[in-house]
Amino acid sequence: MALTPMFPLGSVLLPGERLPLHIFEPRYQLMLKDCMEKEDPSFGVVLIARGKESGGGDVRHDVATLAHIVAHTDIGDGRHLVECVGGERIRVDAWLEDDPYPRADARIWPDDESASIDEPQFGTLEKKIRELYRLIGELAVAEGSTPPPEPAFSALPAAAGERLFTLATQIPMGQSDRQEVLEASGPSQRLGAIADALDGVTDIVRFRLQ
């Protein structure tokens, strides 16, 4: 286990995803200062289960993502703009006191690779995502707005788990569904979580088109 600075948010950061942050709370100003003194400046981003992002007192999930800081700008008055990229999944073994900022004993939690996924399964998932975007485009036209750009399936990561995380970011699912995707023990379970979320979103769009 390792002591890890934590940043509770109302949204899930998936591995490989970019996350811009505006740091202004004093406790997170201190957290950022401590992180920037490390060789690999990083902290955990965790979804709030109950409560608010500011002020503390929130209840958090125990599976999070390590956010690596790739850019940092001091904009004055103690405020900072930070660009992060989601890295490894982490599991929280114990939450510590939020003094001087949220911290946890956490460890890297790699995927269980015992169940593999073959290319036809990826092909089916990508086909369903394309169909969802086609329906979203129809709905956008019907409502007088601009259809979203087509999803891109080129240059996807080779590893099954990372590839699924990348595909999941292209689906407009809710935060609870994104947390399910993050918490899936391995690629096979993650594929199931993504498929369930994708079916739910598709059903909603079909209903709105009626």
Per-residue pLDDT tens digits for 47-68:
998 776 555 567 899 999 999 9
CA 134, CA 49: separation in Å to the nearest integer? 33
pTM value? 0.91
Spell out the residues 6+ positions from residue 119 whose beta carbon is closer than 8 angstroms to its own.
none
CA 100, CA 29: separation in Å to the nearest integer? 10
Closest CA to 42 of 64, 21, 70: 70
Which run of H or E residues covers position 91? strand 79-95
* Residue keyed to tokens 């750009």: 149
Residue 56 is predicted with a pLDDT of 59
CA 157, CA 173: separation in Å to the nearest integer? 21
96 touches 105 (CB < 8 A): yes
Closest CA to 170 of 184, 156, 158: 156
Give me the residues of the chain with pLDDT under 70, please: 1, 52-57
Closest CA to 179 of 46, 85, 83: 46
Q: Which residues pair with 31 in a beta bridge?
A: none
DSSP alpha helices (H): ranges in the chain?
Answer: 26-36, 119-142, 160-168, 175-183, 187-209
Residue 57 is predicted with a pLDDT of 62
| Amino acid in position 45 | V
160 touches 187 (CB < 8 A): yes
